[in-house]
Structure 1
Amino acid sequence: MTESPRYLGSGTAEVDTASLTGAPPSRLPSRLTITLWDFSWYTRAEDGGPYADLDAACAKAADLSYNTIRICAAPLLLFGNLGLDHLATDLDIEGLGKAPDGGIYGRGTRWYDAPGGYRLNLQARLLELFDAAARHGLVIILASWEYQQSTVFAGSPRWFDAIDAVPLHHRYRVLADSWDRLIGALTAAGHRNRIAMVELHNEVDFSILPALAEGGSEQLHRLRQLHPDLLVTASYGKPPHLAMHTVPDGPGAAQFHVYSYGVLDALQQRIDIRSEGTSDFPNPALTALLRPDAPSVAEYGRLADWKYRATVVTDQMFYGYDWIDPEAWDTWLCNEYGPYREVMRREIDSRVIAIAEWARWKGIPAVVGEGWIGYTPLQGTFEEGPIGRDLAERGIRTALKNGIWGMVLCSNAAPHHPLWTNEAWQRRLNQFILAAPTN
């Protein structure tokens, strides 16, 4: 007598999840390998800066096997009809300003270490970027960081004041109108097919915006109707992984971010670096990690007051990251990482899978536009080092296994971060992604 295999339930049956969650437009690459240029492509364009030569930056990205750039295209500044035309063509990039010791504020941070000191025509520069991308076979994800931090780098508060004056419940509509006009300008310039995706805004859950359900979903539908050939969406910094059904209808793609803070969050809480206005800041735990030459908070001084309103980064973060000893920071994280290792790996897995399953349910392509650990000091090497690279590779493999269309190698894999110099790792991982089957 032949015995039948034991039946253990449908949950034991293998299911192929590697096929893409939804089909992207045929004009776009079968996989997206994304480098995150955010607003830095115009705030770090100083002489000798990482984006001073856009053609060279695009050439290097292509050489490293990236095929996609994700940027802040500043739609409210360029096409918002908010009385900012003069700034769109003559924008003073100041950075965060000069500190009392003569250095710049933000010197020890990622993204904010902008020396400034120049002016640019951002309207013309956007077309220059698309021209350079075309020469090197790159496509571009368009987003806006304006209600999160882009405006802080300007020399005056006029850009921030103009967008802040838009009533909260009108902001998604103004964004959608701005994108419609910006898309029209790119189309007229012959670059419509180079648009990989349009995000109403970056990280709507961590920006000065209402919840997406409060007007954003409606505007996504409207913008998609105006441009049915384009992928139109909005990104989440921390999507509701345990309740993805609560994400409102409207996104034409699932562009969500996957950060597993784990041990990093434990350190941040220990040193109270993300708060603002703490009376005993810096506490002893942070003081122990500061450089010997760190000034007092009073000696360090403050940015112009309007700049704190224009960014989600707090005064304590600026002080802490500017004066942290990166070696002491890394040593603490590495020494304490052990108990967090499996939790962080599983958290990356579960979040990627949640995003992919939601996208498959909706029948739309999925993208991890940022990841994998979190915000660290500029010269910290925890994410660039063996631990961070291991977690990144875990995320990439899980993403490919679950049908994610596009992904970053790491949020820090871009010309304005030290990780950019690790060319072999980037090229290897990008080629691994591009070689993965899509069906």
Structure 2
Amino acid sequence: MTDRYLGSGTVDDDVTGLTGPVPAHLPSRLAITLWDFSWYTQAGPGDPYEDLDAAVSDAADLGYNAIRICAAPLLLHGDLGLEPLLDIEGLGLAPDGEIYGRRTRWYDVRGGFTVDLRARLHELAAACRRHGMVLALASWEYQQSPAFAASSRWFEAIDAVPLEERYRVLAGAWDRLLADLNDAGFRDQIALVELHNEVDFSILPALADGGAEQVAWLRARHPDLLVTASYGKPPHLAMHRVPPGLGAGQFHVYSYGVLDALQQRIDIRAEGSGDFPGPALRDLLRADAPSPAAYGRPVAWKMAATVVTDQMVYGYDWIDPDAWDDWLVEHYPPFHEVMRREIAARVIAIAAWARWQQVPAVIGEGWVGYTPLLGGFEEGPIGLALAEHGIETALAHGVWGVVLCSNAAPHHPMWQLQEWQRAQNARILSA
């Protein structure tokens, strides 16, 4: 029997190696936990990050070797007249005396403490060095970080920067922050530098409109580091639209699927809806939910400083998580293959782009999407299976760094799934 030649499309490309080279001092694979800005907004008494060294130690014990954070470069080194001492408040108090965002992910910040963010960044880098970890440094400042401050000064200072100047100011801030970390002896702890998180979902121009130029400038200033920017929803069907010159392909892979169907049904991500909450959302609310008018909303500047809406804050604070999960599980079957294929297709597109550009690929966030704090869909069998599918696909296509799930971090309930995290991290690091 002889093999027939059926055209070049039948010949598989070799995708077993990494998509691009990484610096020799960095791990051959990254198992990433996403600490975002929470490592300083949830650092008060009794908070998940109160003891920073203990949090890093726990992450290392679970098999992680990389932590992705907001390093707040504009606050620390933006030359905007800001101080590193930061009073943390969260979204503020609701009329019932409890915090806004109490049952959301990331926004459930109690505040009431002051943090020296520069000293804390150095403390984190030192803890990472002790525990064999590296850092992926990003900025969430044009997306949400300043909303957690007690004062509007941080937000007002960065908002005053003209839109067309923001990438340049970010690049300069990063240059000074990296010099500061270098002088403190922490350069080898830096695995990745992102000009900004999710440039497509932040108060920034398109990356092609000045951002790629600033990435190139920062790369030239620090040629030994991987410098890039991240996309929340990269153009998977037209990856040529991603500007060239990025030092790494750090992209996020969310397949909302059934979650998107629920969000549209209950109109939870919009703002200013006249009939909010509609009947579909009311059916999912807790029995003790106040009306939106009675609940109110965070002060205006905090809502301007973040990309979430007041309808999301109200809805996630007052949703019945069991009813939420029951709806998702009941309506999931028709979305099963669609969501699996979407995750695989997006991961493969990202890896192929990175291989074409000869840079390492990283999946820094994923896999389903933004759910209430106490909703367990992504931590349950369906969500875990989708995460494992994404991780497996990423490893098979040479992705360098992979997050287990955006919810796998100390400030989420998923952190309690210790054996699952150990097993997945072992898969990543042994690939």
Q: TM-score, normalised by structure 1?
A: 0.98
CA RMSD of aligned residues (A): 0.7
Cα offset, 1:11, TM superposition: 1.9
Aligned AA for 1:29? P
- Paired position in structure 1 for 2:18: 20
Aligned AA for 1:385? G
Aligned AA for 1:369? G
CA contact (8 A) 2:244 2:357 kept: no
d(CA) in 2 for partners of 1:250 and 1:179?
17
d(CA) in 1 for partners of 2:91 and 2:2?
70
**Residue 149, structure 1, aligned to residue 144, structure 2:** yes
Q: Which among 312, 335, 344 is matched to residue 317 of structure 1? A: 312
Aligned AA for 1:254? G
Aligned AA for 2:192? M
String of CA shifts for 1:273-318, please: whole Å, max 9, x gaps: 0000000000000000000000000110110110110000000000
d(CA) in 1 for partners of 2:12 and 2:143?
42
- Paired position in structure 1 for 2:129: 134
Cα offset, 1:112, TM superposition: 0.3
Q: Which among 4, 7, 16 is matched to residue 6 of structure 1? A: 4
- Paired position in structure 2 for 1:426: 421
Cα offset, 1:249, TM superposition: 1.6
d(CA) in 2 for partners of 1:317 and 1:351?
27
Q: Which among 400, 403, 418 is matched to residue 398 of structure 2? A: 403
Cα offset, 1:244, TM superposition: 0.1
Q: Which among 187, 190, 196 is matched to residue 201 of structure 1? A: 196
d(CA) in 2 for partners of 1:120 and 1:434?
34
d(CA) in 1 for partners of 2:46 and 2:111?
12
Q: Which among 172, 194, 197 is matched to residue 167 of structure 2? A: 172
**Residue 268, structure 1, aligned to residue 266, structure 2:** no
Q: Secondary structure at the match of 2:231?
A: coil
- Paired position in structure 2 for 1:63: 61
- Paired position in structure 2 for 1:53: 51
d(CA) in 1 for partners of 2:47 and 2:310?
25
Q: Which among 370, 376, 383 is matched to residue 381 of structure 1? A: 376
Aligned AA for 2:384? R
Q: Secondary structure at the match of 1:71?
A: strand
Aligned AA for 2:34? L
d(CA) in 1 for partners of 2:181 and 2:5?
57
Q: Which among 294, 299, 307 is matched to residue 302 of structure 2? A: 307
d(CA) in 2 for partners of 1:76 and 1:45?
20
Work out the number of aligned pairs and report it.
431
**Residue 38, structure 1, aligned to residue 56, structure 2:** no
* Percent identity of paired positions between Structure 1 and Structure 2: 71
- Paired position in structure 1 for 2:87: 92
d(CA) in 1 for partners of 2:128 and 2:86?
23
- Paired position in structure 2 for 1:250: 245
String of CA shifts for 1:404-426, please: whole Å, max 9, x gaps: 00010000000000000110000
Superposed, 1:281-360 pairs within 5 Å as 281-360=276-355
Q: Secondary structure at the match of 1:95?
A: coil
Cα offset, 1:250, TM superposition: 2.3
d(CA) in 1 for partners of 2:198 and 2:333?
30
Q: Secondary structure at the match of 2:230?
A: coil
d(CA) in 2 for partners of 1:377 and 1:253?
31
Cα offset, 1:211, TM superposition: 0.2
CA contact (8 A) 2:82 2:154 kept: yes
d(CA) in 2 for partners of 1:189 and 1:388?
41
d(CA) in 1 for partners of 2:245 and 2:2?
47
Superposed, 1:115-130 pairs within 5 Å as 115-130=110-125
**Residue 82, structure 1, aligned to residue 80, structure 2:** yes
d(CA) in 1 for partners of 2:74 and 2:408?
27
d(CA) in 1 for partners of 2:367 and 2:16?
20
Q: Secondary structure at the match of 2:217?
A: helix
Cα offset, 1:160, TM superposition: 0.1
Aligned AA for 1:400? L
Cα offset, 1:23, TM superposition: 0.8
Superposed, 1:175-186 pairs within 5 Å as 175-186=170-181
Cα offset, 1:10, TM superposition: 2.0
Superposed, 1:366-377 pairs within 5 Å as 366-377=361-372
Cα offset, 1:6, TM superposition: 2.3
d(CA) in 2 for partners of 1:215 and 1:14?
37
- Paired position in structure 1 for 2:212: 217
